[in-house]
Amino acid sequence: MSRRLAGRIVHDVMAKGERLRVQIRRDNARVIVLLAGDLDHGTSNLMRDQVVSAVAAAPLTQLVLDMGLVEFCDSSGLRALVLSWKAAREAGAKISLVAVNDRCRALLDRTGLMPFLDLHDDLQAVAPQATA
């Protein structure tokens, strides 16, 4: 389901069995992705495809992944995060992760991904990046 609200494009899709919800908002050159549910083998391709599509849709300076409602993340979910990071970087955008739970944070740390990611406790802590 997609709709336009006050200059923002919103995409709201559900993965198999409603195990993952991906909601995408575009606010000028900033894309905010709200993830809710499990980010795993059965849902990670949906997340990756939606994020890569949003990044490719128009120029952006910042991609924010709000993971506050992610309950589980496995290696497939990590791969989707890495591919999202790569798509943002190739588009010249910074990527930030918000509200990453302790389990996902430990997984990111164990895999060596933490130095590449900008993590914040909440969305308000992520300052919008200036446009070039």
Whole-angstrom Cα Rg for the chain: 14
Nearest to 130 by CA among 56, 32, 58, 60: 60
Query: Rounded to two decimals, what is the model's pTM?
Result: 0.82
Q: State pLDDT tens for residues 6-46.
A: 445 455 555 555 689 899 888 888 899 999 999 999 899 98
pLDDT at 13: 57
CATH architecture of the domain with range 2-124? 2-Layer Sandwich (3.30)
Domain parsing of the chain, residue ranges: 2-124
pLDDT at 14: 57
Cα(87)–Cα(72) distance, rounded to whole angstroms? 23
Cα(34)–Cα(51) distance, rounded to whole angstroms? 10
Q: State pLDDT tens for residues 47-66.
A: 999 999 988 887 889 999 99
